[in-house]
Amino acid sequence: MPNRLLPKHIILVRHGESEGNKDPSAYTTTPDHKISLTEHGRAQARLAGSRLRDLISSNGSSQDWRVYFYVSPYERTRSTLREIGKSLSKKRVIGVREECRIREQDFGNFQVEERMRITKETREKFGRFFYRFPEGESAADVFDRVSSFLESLWRDIDLNRLNNDPSQELNLIIISHGLASRVFLMKWFKWTVEQFEQLYNPGNCEIRVMKLGPSGEYSLAIHHTDEELRQWGLSPEMIEDQKWRIKANKTDLHDNCKPYLNSFFDRELDSDEDVKEGDIVSDNEFEDVKEENDSDNESKDIFVDTNLK
């Protein structure tokens, strides 16, 4: 296999302001995928196009740069791409692929406003990642399909399906939705569910830039400041990890997982001798507990059978 030609930037862009963002009642009469941009949303997208062009062409970038777009099939994301495209000449764009797996989270079909308000309140109590909307998806469902998309993206890069000339600098731009973008970053950087729950949605046409570091790892901390990362909801440990990635080698394993390990393992046990014998369950003790549980289950079965007669 030829050497992998890595993109210099992988950039996530949320769509511009939509009619649904402006007035949630739009979802009661218009299918989510047909919700269009407002005039303000189109202006946001044109401004995002100028910012993207400046970002990609500056800071020591090659003058011979190219972009490849992945776009959600929803009307508001496609319209955002059309407005962004007004800032780029045709020679700069290698291609565009409509990608269903980066579409918006499915909230069901037509959304009744009051019922959706109550449903979202329930989601806050249940947890944003695992709560599944009636007739719709959970963030965990979105995670699964975005993970599949990421695998395809890497195959596209490995096999040069993007038809990028090795002499040109490649940049990938993914135009998607708020939750799909957060889930993409969660999958890429291996964030936990708890860390995902801390994150805030990007604003309309907000740009989040993953830039390739000198050792072949991508980081958010090259283009973005600590303050920006904090505003997005990244914890100090997550920000420190982003900084580590700037100079990290892809074969390195960051020891930044210690706080996560501490929630499962007693890190004070440095040796086998530190483990208390009283905490170790012997085979005989396990069998005693198993027999006791089996006895309890038999009693429950007898009780149930008695009531059924």
Question: How long, in residues, is the chain?
Answer: 309
**Residue 248 in tokens:** 């990290």
3-state secondary structure of 89: coil
Q: What are phi and psi of 211, to 5 degrees?
A: -110, 140
Residue numbers annotated as active site: 15, 104
Nearest to 206 by CA among 177, 238, 170: 177
Q: Which residue in the block uniquely carries the two structure tokens 């395809």?
A: 152
Q: What are phi and psi of 206, to 5 degrees?
A: -70, 145
- Range list of H helices, 164-282: 178-189, 193-197, 226-232, 236-247, 258-262
3-state secondary structure of 13: strand
Q: Which residue in the block uniquely carries the two structure tokens 């020679």?
A: 91
From CA 157, how far away is CA 151, in angstroms rounded? 10
**Residue 71 in tokens:** 């776009």
138, 254, 307 from 133: Cα distances, Å: 6, 36, 38
**Residue 133 in tokens:** 């909307």
Cβ atoms of 266 and 275 closer than 8 Å: no
From CA 248, how far away is CA 218, in angstroms rounded? 9
From CA 209, how far away is CA 173, in angstroms rounded? 9
